[in-house]
Amino acid sequence: MALGFSTPDFALVAYAEVFGADGNSTTMNSGILTTRTGAGVYTLTLPTNLQQLDRLSQVYVQARTSAPVMNAVEDTSDQVKTVRFANGLGSPVNTSFSVTVWRSVLTPPTNSPS
């Protein structure tokens, strides 16, 4: 079996559009609780029924800004994901963003670490 994005190997678990100023997500959200916890730092809490093993989930973030920003996603736990944004100098920056959380739908091979 070949792995790749050309086959349906991933399923969308959750999504949200997050407002950068306060971390709220009120326009499009599949049930993620979103909060801005500091300058450029946002916490995403998945509902209990959607929590993902930190080593198996794929979290994709897209900043909604024309300014260049970097982001990092931390798998704080199976239920909580932390997103951090910074400008080119490494200083924290608040920005609106889109986030999607995916999971593999493949059965892991026998004796695999997952």
Domain boundaries of the chain, sorted by first residue: 10-102
Supply φ then ψ for residue 4, to 5 degrees.
170, 165
pLDDT of residue 91: 95
d(CA 9, CA 41): 30
Ranges of the chain with pLDDT below 70 = 1-8, 53-56, 106-114
End-to-end CA distance of the chain: 17
pLDDT of residue 79: 86
| 35-63 pLDDT, tens digit each | 999 999 999 998 888 777 656 678 889 99
d(CA 40, CA 20): 8
pTM: 0.80
Fill in the amino acid letter for 101.
V
pLDDT of residue 11: 81
